[in-house]
Amino acid sequence: MKQWTVPAAVAAANNEITAEFGDFLGGILLRRGIVTLDSARAFFGCDSLSDPMLISDMRQAVEIVRGAIDEDKRITVFGDYDCDGVCSTVMLYSYLEAQGADVDFYIPDRSEGFGMSVAALEKIVAKGTELVITVDNGISAVKEAEFLKSKGVELLITDHHQPNASLPECGACVDPNRADDPSPFKDLCGAGVVLKLLIALEEDEDFVLESYADLAAVATVGDVVPLKGENRYIVQRGLDNIRNEQNAGLTMLIKAAKCNIDKIASTDLAFKVCPRINAAGRMAQAEKAARLLLCEDDADTASRLAEELNLLNNRRKAEEDKILKDVQKQTADNPRILKERVIVLSGEGWHHGVIGIVCSKILEKYDKPVVMISVENGSTRGSVRSIEGFSVHKMLMECSSPLSTFGGHPKAGGFSLPADKIGEFTELIHKYAREFYPKMPLPSVTADMEAACSDFTVDKVKLLSRIEPCGERNPVPQFLLRNCTVKSKRAMKDGLYTSFDVESGGVTLRTITFKIPFDGFIPNVGDRIDMIVTAEVNEYNDRESAELRLVDYRPADFSEERFIAASRVYEEICRGEGCDRRLAPRVIPQSRSELMKIYDLVKKSGGKRTAKELAMFDGSVNYCMLRITLDAFAEAKMVELGEDCVPKILPVTEKRDLFAGGLLFELNKQFQK
């Protein structure tokens, strides 16, 4: 379960922010730390990029590139297979080609691993390359830099990743995250660094932005860097370019993704465009995506390649579904997997290009760090995704003894290890989590502020567009609405989605969810709920109205703290860690009447509600007691526990005393000692 959080209100009376922006938009800004007009100007008013020459080695980089063009040296742009790497490659390659340079590019397959490798460089050098320019990689390529030097090939590195203690030996190393770098903005993605290089080369920021901000915007959103400061400006300029359909390949891809190009937003890039570019590197070769983005004027080729990326994206989804089905079977056969502090899963033949995405989906579903291991021919590749407060990098460091390779950040990482070491690695993970995280952190859903239905007028909701483009560290504004009454509900798209009306303070608003089917939406008309929502303006028949999008919901006055505590106790009992004996009467059934109450609750639900939903919306049963009782019913074959612990009543042919033996007998015996 995710915790709901709302930042503490900042005093708004006589505040210059609310005086300038009003209580609604101003209230959001205050809670996001924008508390002065100067900080508001910095957020809203960035209308240029800082001088690229402030980045360390930029002057040397310009001299190297200009010299290579003048001397007609063979240049290879060495990219990466993700969205940022592809866009960075296309930007630099197309610029150099337009300058008449003798240039090609190389994007490694995912099977080759991230960044430069000696094997790849041997192929490049054999083709006569005299200068290698990296984009979105290279800052850690010490060995590869030595190889190029031994072959007499010059190296120019452009990157944005964190460097190690020693930098590679090269002609220039352009990375704003170098320890000695004095430039003011450190959060550029790889394409952002390339954009700065092109501005330094061209000495005309506006021309470069007109030509390349669209690709830089896609990369900035795709690489999930903070959408603040210069990144925010890059994305704003890029979205303008995209709306003007300047790049035929990108335009075709956006249309293939069924986006409205006239109203394209950063969220469209994040959820529809970037995944299609990434699909090329995950399922085939990233070069396909690069070739598409290089189709600036060739509409026919662009259309064909865009459709290929669409098909690859569909294949990616199919692979994800296949892995998720395997996971469902594994967890059904061994429910203990989901009750551990960290979920560890492995499977033969899982596509290593998509296990990271599946990791994220399982994390979102179960609110726990997830480790997924793909096994193939005795070797493995693994991905990890985590939540705030549980560092992937620290975990991998502490559990590294069986690993062949590993790396990562606080929330994500990757590794490899021999297949026969998976069991050892799994035990190390569980031991580490048990020792260092007796109470695991929980992910949260954050609302910017508490609101009422009356706050959502069309004019106020329109003000929210000023915060766009939205993304990492500048999310779409979310609002907490308490004690709303459900006035009506209806199915959309044959029941796939749900629309419902809520009322508070005498104002009724339409709310839509595309994540919950109509049969899965629990509240009935007249029920009171709390919601976290986003807001937008809906236009229909030339009429505008404010409309809400559901993020999460609960019964009004739901006790989050009590539910989370009960969930933790249940999992501790399942892991054999026990619980405080004083809690036992509240969390372990003691009487037949307690069992019958839960049996009747399950029967009434008709096999359509998860255990979590039953406990949340009934309100009278402790979640831990519910889960233990359901486990006892399943043991006695009175219920079947389906996916996501949806209990279904089974025919009972004989009466059984569940306290006479089995799970309940053992638990009561254990906690009555």
> Which tens digits make up the pLDDT trace of 527-538?
999 999 999 999
- 505 and 599 belong to one structural domain: no
Neighbours of 618 (CB within 10 A): 17
Average pLDDT rounded to a whole number, residues 601-618: 94
- The CATH number that applies at residue 375 is 3.10.310.30
157 and 56 together in one domain:
yes
Are 519 and 570 in the same domain? no
Identify whether 469 is preceded by a cis peptide bond (ω within 30 of 0). Answer: yes
The per-residue pLDDT for range 416-475, each reduced to its tens digit, is: 999 999 999 999 999 999 999 999 999 999 999 999 999 999 999 999 999 999 999 999
644: left (phi over 0), alpha (psi -120 to 50) or beta: left
What is the pLDDT of the chain when averaged over all its residues? Answer: 95
Give the residue from 479, 517, 480 showing the smallest Cα distance to 500: 517
SS3 letters across 35-101: CCHHHHHHHHCCCCCCCHHHCCCHHHHHHHHHHHHHCCCEEEEECCCCHHHHHHHHHHHHHHHHCCC
Take residue 20 and report the two structure tokens written for it: 């300038």
Instruction: Report yes or no on 577 lying in a domain.
Output: yes
DSSP string for 349-407:
T--TTTHHHHHHHHHHHH-S-EEEEEEETTEEEEEEE--TTS-HHHHHHHT-TT-SEEE
Q: What is the rounded distance in angstroms from the CA atom of residue 485 to the CA atom of residue 526?
A: 6
> Which tokens sit at 74?
């063979």
Which pLDDT belongs to residue 12? 61
Q: Dihedral of CA 570/571/575/578: which sign? A: negative
CA angle 159, 164, 167 (to 5 degrees): 65
Alpha carbon distance 176, 55 (integer Å): 6
Three-state DSSP state, 174: strand
pTM: 0.94
Shared domain for 578 and 629, answered yes or no, is yes
Nearby residues of 235 by Cβ (< 8 Å), 6 or more positions away: 217, 220, 221, 227, 266, 469, 471
Looking at the structure of the chain, the number of domains it has is: 4
Mean pLDDT throughout 570-579?
Answer: 94
Q: Are 190 and 115 in contact (CB under 8 A)?
A: no
pLDDT in tens, 215-263: 999 999 999 999 999 999 999 999 999 999 989 999 999 999 999 999 9
User: Has residue 370 been placed in a domain?
Assistant: yes
Query: Mean per-residue pLDDT for 190-210?
Result: 98
Lowest mean pLDDT among 45-49, 181-185, 629-633: 45-49
- The range of the structural domain enclosing residue 112 comes to 52-244
456 shares its domain with 584? no
Euclidean distance between CA atoms 295 and 297, whole angstroms: 6
Residue 203 falls within a domain, yes or no? yes
CA 578/CA 133 separation, integer angstroms = 58
Instruction: Point out which residues pair with 414 in neighbouring strands.
Output: 383, 407
In whole angstroms, give the CA distance from residue 401 to residue 414. 15
pLDDT of 668 over the 60 cut: yes
Let me know whether 67 and 212 are in one domain.
Answer: yes
Domain boundary among 244, 271, 286: 244
- Look at residue 440 and give its three-state secondary structure: coil
> Do residue 401 and residue 365 come from a single domain?
yes
- Residues in Cβ contact with 530 at an 8 Å cutoff, skipping those fewer than 6 apart: 480, 481, 482, 483, 484, 553, 554, 555, 556, 557, 558
DSSP label at 270?
I
Residue 543 φ then ψ, to 5°: -120, 135
H/E stretch holding 279 reads helix 274-283
Domain-terminating residue out of 406, 436, 466? 436
Judge whether 60 lies within some domain: yes
Q: What percent of the chain has pLDDT over 70?
A: 99
pLDDT in tens, 374-425: 999 888 999 999 999 999 999 999 999 999 999 888 999 999 999 999 999 9
Give a yes or no: residue 380 inside a domain.
yes
Which band of pLDDT confidence, cut at 50, 70 and 90, is reported for residue 578?
Answer: confident
Give the mean model confidence (pLDDT) for residues 319-340: 96
Q: Tokens representing 42? A: 């910095």
Burial class (CB in 10 A: 0-12, 13-18, 19+), 261: middle
Query: pLDDT of 85-143, one tens digit each?
Result: 999 999 999 999 999 999 999 999 988 988 999 999 999 999 999 999 999 999 999 99
Residue 263 structure tokens: 């109203």
What residues form DSSP beta bridges with 444?
3
Residue 673's pLDDT band, with cuts at 50, 70 and 90, is: low
Q: Give the mean pLDDT of 22-32.
A: 93
Alpha carbons within 13 A on the beta-carbon side of 210: 5
361, 227: one domain: no
6-29 b/e (C-beta count within 10 Å ≥ 16 → b):
beeebeeeebebbeebebbbbbbb
CATH of the domain at 159: 3.90.1640.30
Q: Are residues 80 and 209 in the same domain?
A: yes
State which of 385, 415, 436 marks the end of a domain.
436
Instruction: Judge whether 299 lies within some domain.
Output: no
| pLDDT at 565 exceeding the cut of 70 | yes
- Residues 469, 410, single domain; the answer is no
Distances (CA, A) of 598 to 438, 595, 622: 30, 5, 10
Q: How many CB atoms lie within 10 A of CB 134?
A: 31
What local confidence, expressed as pLDDT, does residue 216 receive?
98
| Structure-token pair, residue 256 | 């293939």
- Does residue 511 belong to any structural domain of this protein? yes
Residues 405 and 460 grouped into a single domain: no
Per DSSP, the three-state class of 483 is: strand
Instruction: Assign 221 to helix, strand or coil.
Output: helix
Residue whose structure tokens are 């892995």: 323
Distance CA 219, CA 217 (A): 5
418 and 484 within one domain: no
CA distance linking residue 428 with residue 38, whole number of Å: 50
The predicted pLDDT at position 407 comes to 86
User: Does 74 fall in a domain?
Assistant: yes
Higher-pLDDT residue of 643 and 29 is: 29
Closest CA to 197 of 102, 147, 142, 133: 133
Beta strands at 412-416 and 405-408: parallel, antiparallel or unpaired: antiparallel
